[in-house]
Amino acid sequence: MSEATDYLDLSAWGHGLATITTPAADSGQEPVVLDVWYPRPMLGDPGQTHPPVGFEAPSIITEAVRTDPVRGVETFVVFTASDLNQPPVDVADAYLRLHLLSHRLVKPNTVNLTGLMDILPEVVWTDIGPCLPADFEEVQFRARTGEGKSITVNSVGQIPRMVDYVVPTDIRISDPNKVKLGAHLAPGTTVAHSGTVEHNAGTDGRTRVETHIGVGHFMPAHHGDQETRGREAPHIANTDHLPY
């Protein structure tokens, strides 16, 4: 694998559904954007107006706007335009870039992700949606007493699993918890139970992943009739340009 030295001189945009916390006025807490879902991210210049004239948010997003008193959040529509050659500026920008990777619109190491982990908040990823860790005990209490249900926690961290946001075509994943949003899985990729794929990482062809593919690593397409097993993830000769 060759080392990436330049980022794409390209723009991207998309309408997203953002989740933001709604702290009480007397709590002293600031609202936190927990995540943004972009079902149809696009490459190219969105135009001079934001949002661009004639580009309306799809109904799949607008119909999902709501308030969730159990989690203490609300969802709302955002429009995001990104210069992929520059670092992300906020959570919405960061999530757009992760979606571009998982939608296979860009490949690992071609998009500037400098400062990504400084931007993204820590989140409790659950079966009812993202929650703020500091409020999670209250969320569990409201769910059990108000709705009589317990919450399943998938993970706690800054980046969620990919399948809750993007499910690319022609792939297989044995354990969805081991593939992060921002993973790039080429058609024909199988991620075995022992395999894991981080963000800004992935495959470039028909591949069976049986090991860990770390941030910045990109497995090349197989050659001939043999699948690439990935028992050793490829390494970048110099990772100084990677900010994570």
Active site includes 232? no
Catalytic residue among 74, 138, 210, 227: 210
Q: How many CB atoms lie within 10 A of CB 224?
A: 5
Backbone angles phi, psi at 100, to 5 degrees: -55, -40
Question: Rounded to the nearest 10 degrees, how much is the dihedral formed by the CA atoms of 24, 27, 33, 34?
Answer: -90
Active site residues: 210
